[in-house]
Amino acid sequence: MTTTTLNKAGDAPAGNAGFARLSATLFNEFSWIWGGLFALFLICSVVAPGVVRPAALSSLLPFAAILAITAVGMTVVIQQRGLDMSLPGTMTIAGLLFAKIGFMTGSTLLAVPLTLLIALGIGIVNGLLVAKVNITPIVVTLATNAILMGAVRAVSGGSPMTAPAELAEFSHSKLFGVPMTLVLALLFILVISVVTKRSIAGRRFVAVGQNPAAATAAGIPILRYQVATYAVAALCFAVAGMLFTGFIGSASQTAGIDYLLPAIAAVVVGGTPFSGGRGSVIASGAAALFMALLGQMVLAFGAETSVQLLVQAGAIIVAVSVRHLPDLLRWIARG
């Protein structure tokens, strides 16, 4: 099978490396989502034009942006062949802690770094348990999620807390007419994308995810990267949690629960594989918008949220299948 790919590639004009690089950047498994997003916009504008009106979009975008930030965090973990099931706990506790610290100290400026610091700690614990103690990521993060949900109950005392006014204001604010949540999401996507694709640390991160043994042999300290992965993810979840709290105006005890499945779904639809290493936070971000838009479209038809869930499940299956169409045909042919 390796020879066929080589031959196919051999048909391209040799030596035209710049072009090859460009086309590899533009057309790969991560570009499907752009086609999908474009098609969805077209379909929406025909069958449910209400969904793509500016007013509707601007009410959709903040939630899509929060989903995109969680999806970014999930993407980096999946690039390390893991899965972070502690998203609900981290996101919820971050929203609560932020509100609590904000009210206790009366200072949002203090509450933000403190909350992020705690999230960093959560991520580092996850990372160490996965990389150092050698426990399967899903088990580690399920367990830490349970502990975090316990902490949520302890912190909240069982009732939601009002978000500090400053945060609510910030979450609803706009920068040059763009919702602040979206600005932050784009910032996250941009920074993490540049870091993973263009920085030395990012290259090593990708290498560790793709083949840890080879990374070790190449002199890369893999533990550091594996732990940092979970730390970055926890930071993403925490920021999403704070924004969500600000946006809905109160810190609930269930804020993160509804984001776990959509976040994983967005990563899968975006095209980041579970084989480790390769991945695209940009595609995950686009997929987050895709999923949010798809949901809106379904709702516009007057369907229940349940149908929305069904359509999302279908999107995952379709997204995976289109990338495996050749394999699939071969499998069917063989019986």
Partner 1 sequence: MSSARKLLEMRGVSKHFPGVRALHDITFDVYAGEVHGLVGENGAGKSTLMGVASGALVATEGEVHIDSDPMSGDPDRARELGLAIVRQEPALMPDLSVAENLFLGMPHAKRPSLSALNTWARGLLKHWSEDVTIDPRDHVSTLNPEQRFIVEIVKALECEPKVLVLDEPTEHLASEDVERLFERVRAVTARGAAVIYISHRIREVQAIANRLTVLRDGEGQGTFDARNMSEDQIVSLIVGGDLDRTFPAKASEASTRTVLSTRGFSGPGFSNVNLDIRAGEILGLAGIDANGQREFMRALAGIHRGSGDVTLLGKPISIRNSQGAKRHGIAYLPGDRHREGIFPELSIRENFSIRSPQEDAALGLIRSGSEQRRTVDAIRQFAVKTPHGETPIQSLSGGNQQKVVLSSVLAAKPQVLLVDEPTQGVDVGARAEIYRSIRETARSGVAVIVVSSDAQEVAGLSDHVAIFSRGRVVDMLSGDDVTEDRITSSVLKSTEQRDRHHRPVAAFWKWAASNSAPLVMVAAAILFLGAVAGMWNPFYLSPRSLTGMMTFAATLALVAYGQQFLMMVSGIDLSVGPTMGLCQVVGSFFLLQELGPGSHVAGWVLLLLVAMAVGVVNWILVEGLRMHPMVATLATFMAVQAISLILRPVPGGMIDGDVMMALSMKVGIVPVTFIAAVLLALVLEFWLYRREMGVSMRGLGSRQEAARTAGIRPKLARFVAYVGCSFLAGLAAITMIAQVGIGDPRAGLTYTLGSIAAVVIGGASLFGGRGSFVGALLGAIFITQVNSVTVFLRLSQEWQQYLLGFLILASVALYSKSREKVVQA
Residues within window 136-155 making contact with partner 1, judged by CB under 8 A = 136, 138-140, 142-154
Q: Does 101 bind partner 1 (CB under 8 A)?
A: no
Smallest gap from residue 86 Cβ to partner 1 (A): 10
Judged by CB under 8 A, the stretch of 68-76, 166-174, 182-190, 198-206 that binds partner 1 is 198-206
Q: Does 254 bind partner 1 (CB under 8 A)?
A: no
Q: Does 124 bind partner 1 (CB under 8 A)?
A: no
Q: Choose among 335, 183, 171, 149: nearest CA to 255.
A: 149
Q: Choose among 29, 1, 44: nearest CA to 322.
A: 29
Residues 151, 112, 233, CA angle at the centre, nearest 5°? 65
Say how far residue 210 (Cα) sits from the centre of its chain: 19
List Cβ neighbours of 184 (8 Å cut-off, separation of 6 or more). 65, 69, 239, 243
Of the residues 109, 110, 178, 310, which one makes contact with partner 1 according to CB under 8 A: 310
Of the residues 17, 46, 55, 333, which one makes contact with partner 1 according to CB under 8 A: 17
Q: Choose among 238, 263, 264: nearest CA to 251.
A: 238
Smallest gap from residue 115 Cβ to partner 1 (A): 19
Q: Does 274 bind partner 1 (CB under 8 A)?
A: yes
Q: Does 200 bind partner 1 (CB under 8 A)?
A: yes
Smallest gap from residue 96 Cβ to partner 1 (A): 13
Q: Choose among 8, 237, 247: nearest CA to 141.
A: 237
Cβ 235 vs Cβ 82: under 8 Å: no
Of the residues 59, 105, 211, 254, which one makes contact with partner 1 according to CB under 8 A: 211
Cβ 253 vs Cβ 160: under 8 Å: yes
Nearer to partner 1, 181 or 280 (CB): 280
Smallest gap from residue 63 Cβ to partner 1 (A): 18
DSSP state of 82: -
Smallest gap from residue 129 Cβ to partner 1 (A): 7
Residue list 40-79, contact with partner 1 (CB under 8 A): none
**Quick one: 41 exposed, middle or buried, by C-beta within 10 A (0-12, 13-18, 19+)?**
middle
Give the count of residues interacting with partner 1 (CB under 8 A): 85
Q: Does 261 bind partner 1 (CB under 8 A)?
A: yes
Judged by CB under 8 A, the stretch of 33-41, 128-136, 185-193, 287-295 that binds partner 1 is 128-136
Q: Does 335 bind partner 1 (CB under 8 A)?
A: no
Of the residues 51, 268, 281, 297, which one makes contact with partner 1 according to CB under 8 A: 268
Q: Does 12 bind partner 1 (CB under 8 A)?
A: yes
Q: Does 278 bind partner 1 (CB under 8 A)?
A: yes
CA distances from 172 to 56, 94, 189, 243, 252 (A): 15, 18, 20, 9, 18
Amino acid identity of residue 255, one-letter, is A
Q: Max alpha carbon distance in the chain (Å)?
A: 67
